Structure 1
């Protein structure tokens, strides 16, 4: 890998002088497009790897209750742990935090290996069932792409930071197929000086990444929703949902920090992995929607379907009882934070943004279904979407 890196930098150093003489502002625009395309491709690769691994696992049947869920998530965590320990030899977790540290402490420089490290480890983790999100790893990957393209072209620190931001924006835009989301994420989280010098490259990078994602993954949105027209009469329920989601967020944050501290106090990396793999496997076996990102379950709820309680769950024998479904989904709401923390603390690589979307959507469904069981009539898909927001 070191030889490949050296060869790439050697080639880039010999870029024709006519190109290197382009004014840096114009060059920044061109490079923003290049970075956007590369980040879009990275997002496509990550998405396809995760989906193909998950599809492969879904084809493995071990009977009515899929006992493979007890094993594969731990295998994914172990493979990621070994790749990080013996191949990458650097910590690749907490991607967004590392991007912020690179900007503030390391002159926006990120190691070239990070252009593929998070991509590889997170795809294995999530594809085999790790209950985390792909957003933080792809942000780290995109930021690394932008940083290293800027370094290869000898850009100033200011423009290197902008191009790093272009990478992060392109990565978010590519994974969500939403260019505005990429721009807003970068402006809010990574960049502090908003000007046309930074806005235009971010827009170009985000749009080009989205186009690449559209070409390879299609134009269907990540969360297609079967929404019902808004009704003023539901506003009080939305207000209650806001308070409920706030309480769930507090629970999510405090539980994550507390559980992480307890797991870190366990001596021995492989002992931590074994305990986390056991806990994660049991949770996914009992509650299959905790497998991976969980976006397919959210899409079921957005479509108005109750099939989230499918035949692979040990609770499916209780039948299509609406109260059973409510209890089942409520358990998912509270156990998702444990599944996420077990995944990251046990050696897996993934982010927390995806799980927060998942928990928000589940919270919206729980409240809407509870209200409907009490005799009210509120649109459950709408509440799922608002809960995610």
Structure 2
């Protein structure tokens, strides 16, 4: 009996050791992929966007070129397979036999990069999530001992990827938990903690700075009603974003010739970018611009109309980008919408009600609130946005706004773009 117990103990120890080793490897590779993709996207997006601002003709050329290249890559390099985004991960984790094929790593990485740098109005976050999930999926296929940890290892890759993009290990783990796994096991805790630790360690070694450099020093209790109202508005805007994506997806599905989708999508995208360059790519350049100038912006009719137009148009051009063949998701668009919504809301209150509120605070809270409602993951949104700004001063206002926005969105429409299942 003692011998049997000892054998079982040794076997469990071996399993734990192997789990630790594979989690280290997944964390390193996923973080390396996430950081590399982020750096390449930032570098080339800045170059191409600058060229387009100098010569607006590129607003017409870039979208059709980028979507066309992605189409030909899918046709001739990636086995004519469409990228389904995070739904691919759900299909894998919900099945014992279905795994994410290894070509998803280069497919999502390359297509995500091309989509954004050539003006596609989305972000690389979902591309990174699927690519890093595939790293975890491939790793669990290498040994039979890992098969029972399939979901945990996929989540480890995702958590490390999110950490690499947003400099927040907590957001990485919470996203893997809230959106993908939805349950905590011992293996989940071990593998994900190791993976995000490696990712964050790599970020520290590389001295990665926060994406948004903002100064947030305080917030006032008298602003609580405004935070609540912003949460409600964020929930409504997130439903608009979700509905746009689902509507255009259903409409473009009726077009049988894929190149017609590219042409139609490119025309809409080009016109939109020509009128509102803020919609180019991830839009982080526009967020940084208004963050740096928010205290100096007087609200005029022209500015208010511009902001409102951007809020209405962003979900449409994001949807068009995705249904035309672009690779991406709703992470970056949600942050973009939230920043512009928060600033417009604050300027309206200050201009017409002399509220004397701090615009940058509402931008940051708006980013988190719209993201929370778009993916139904409030705690991910909280730590992700706090990680983006490297500041936790607004933790409690963000918490309130994120919970309110999520439940507002769920009351209006229960699905996200990840959970919606079309009726047959």
In structure 2, the residue matched to 1:49 is 40
Q: What is the TM-score with the length of structure 2 in the denominator?
A: 0.79
Q: In structure 2, do the counterparts of structure 1 residues 224 and 90 end up closer, same or farther at CA, with 3 Å as the change threshold?
A: farther
Unaligned runs of 5+ in 2: 1-10, 369-424
Q: Which one of 97, 101, 104 corresponds to residue 87 of structure 2? A: 97
Contact 1:49–1:127 (8 Å) recurs in 2: no
Query: Aligned partners of 1:234, 1:171: CA distance in 2, in Å?
Result: 35
2:359 counterpart residue number:
380
C-alpha deviation, 1:256, in angstroms = 2.1
**Aligned partners of 1:356 and 1:388 also within 8 Å:** yes
For residue 306 of structure 1, report the CA deviation from its aligned partner. 7.7
Alpha-carbon distance in structure 1 between the residues aligned to 2:70 and 2:296: 32
Change (3 A) 1:106 1:384: same
The worse-fitting range, judged by mean Cα deviation, of 207-216 and 130-139 is: 207-216
What RMSD, in angstroms, separates the aligned Cα atoms of the two structures?
2.2
Matched, 1:134 2:113: no
Task: Say if 2:322 is the partner of 1:344.
Answer: yes
1:113-132 map, 5 Å: 113-132=103-122
Residues 43 and 213, structure 1, Cα contact 8 Å, conserved in 2? no
Render the CA deviation track for 1:80-119: whole Å, top value 9, x for unaligned. 1111121102435332110110111254621111122100
Which residue in the other structure is 2:400 paired with? none
1:260 alignment counterpart: 249
User: Does the 8 Å contact 2:52/2:59 carry over to 1?
Assistant: no
Aligned equivalent of 2:336: 358
Alignment correspondent of 2:229: 240
1:229 to 194, 218, 236: 218
CA change 1:255–1:306 in 2 (3 A) is farther
Deviation at 1:211, TM superposition (A): 2.3
Give CA-to-partner distance per residue, 1:271-330, whole Å, 9 cap, x none.
11101000001101111111011112222333344899xxxxxxxxxxx87332221111
CA deviation vs aligned residue, 1:151-181 (integer Å, no higher than 9, x gap): 2233332223211111111111111111111
User: Take 1:189 and 1:61, find their aligned partners in 2: how far apart are those partners?
Assistant: 36
Q: Give the number of aligned pairs.
A: 357
| Residues 1:145 and 2:123 are matched in the alignment | no
Partner of 1:8 in structure 2? Answer: none
List per-residue Cα deviations over 1:21-41 (Å, max 9, x = no partner). Answer: 971111111111111110111
8 Å contact kept, 1:228–1:382: no
Following superposition, the deviation at residue 55 of structure 1 comes to 2.5
Please state how far the C-alpha of 1:233 moved relative to its aligned partner.
1.2
- Mapping of 1:141-180 within 5 angstroms? 141-180=131-170
